Amino acid sequence: EPEVTQTPSHQVTQMGQEVILRCVPISNHLYFYWYRQILGQKVEFLVSFYNNEISEKSEIFDDQFSVERPDGSNFTLKIRSTKLEDSAMYFCASSERRGSYGYTFGSGTRLTVV
Amino acid sequence: GDSVTQMEGPVTLSEEAFLTINCTYTATGYPSLFWYVQYPGEGLQLLLKATKADDKGSNKGFEATYRKETTSFHLEKGSVQVSDSAVYFCALTPNTGNQFYFGTGTSLTVIP
């Protein structure tokens, strides 16, 4: 069964450093997403991406965050200058079309900012 | 705004016990409702879903019924197994837009 692959599974970074989280969506999917879950809290939507541009973003997704699809397969989330409160599990997801049909999540990257 | 509230955990049950995890939602219009499961070290996997009122989603012995009158989508299983130990997330998508709104997750541990 097709999977969304995220790397690394766990990343530790120092406060103030830039970090890039990587995702390989399912190959025929056109919509891409990032979510995050701070420990003990809800999984929260960050951003959706379609046709090489952001289609929706939440209040959490401020200027510190950016997303990119640098080639035909990867979808990345960059945090420019990490803060302690960025420590969370970050989930990538993709879907074939708009809506919940075929929405598939990756296994997540646990980011720890120290 | 749209939101989901689910039962706090953790929940510990003996094998073959009955499981209920409560979930209620707030949404405008007619959202679709979901239960996702996360096994240790794995991603969020779709367990079941319902897209309109009175629909029942079911999978692997789990069931949930979309109750618009009580804005609920409680997850049930008649007889849990050790292999059901995981974190369960209730979620919704609004009838417009394509982002998910999740609950906080409920950790279930089933002991032999």
- In this complex, the residue of A35, A41, A95 whose CB is nearest that of residue B104 is A41
Residues sharing a CB contact under 8 Å with residue A80, sequence separation 6 or more, in sequence order: A18, A63, A64, A65, A66
The answer to whether the CB atoms of A40 and B93 lie below 8 A apart is no
Which pLDDT tens digit goes with each residue over B25-66?
999 888 999 999 988 877 788 999 999 999 999 999 999 999
Q: What is the mean pLDDT of chain B?
A: 93
The answer to whether residue A106 neighbours chain B at the CB level (below 8 Å) is yes
Bridge partners (DSSP) of residue B88 are: B37, B106
Query: Rounded CA gap, B63 and B35, in Å?
Result: 10
* Assigned token pair, B31: 């959202």
Q: What's the rounded Cα separation, in Å, for the pair A13 and A88? A: 12
Query: For residue A49, which residues of chain B lie inside 8 Å, CB to CB?
Result: none
* Residue among A42, A56, A58 minimizing CB distance to B102: A42
Residues A6-46: tens digit of each pLDDT: 999 999 999 999 999 999 999 999 999 999 999 888 899 99
- Inform me whether the pLDDT recorded for A82 exceeds 90: yes
Q: Nearest Cα to A89, choosing from A2, A11, A3?
A: A11
**Length reported for chain B:** 112
State whether residue A35 sits within 8 Å of chain B by CB: yes
Summarised one tens digit per residue, pLDDT across range A49-81 is 999 999 999 999 999 999 999 887 899 999 999
- Radius of gyration of the CA atoms of chain A, in A: 13
Taking CA–CA distances from A110, the nearest residue in chain B reads B41
Confidence bin at B88 (pLDDT 50/70/90):
very high
Shortest Cα–Cα distance, B24 to chain A (Å): 14
CA atoms within 13 A on the CB side of B51: 5
Mean pLDDT, rounded, of chain A: 93
Cα A104 from Cα A32, distance rounded (Å): 10
Size of interface A-B (CB pairs under 8 A): 59
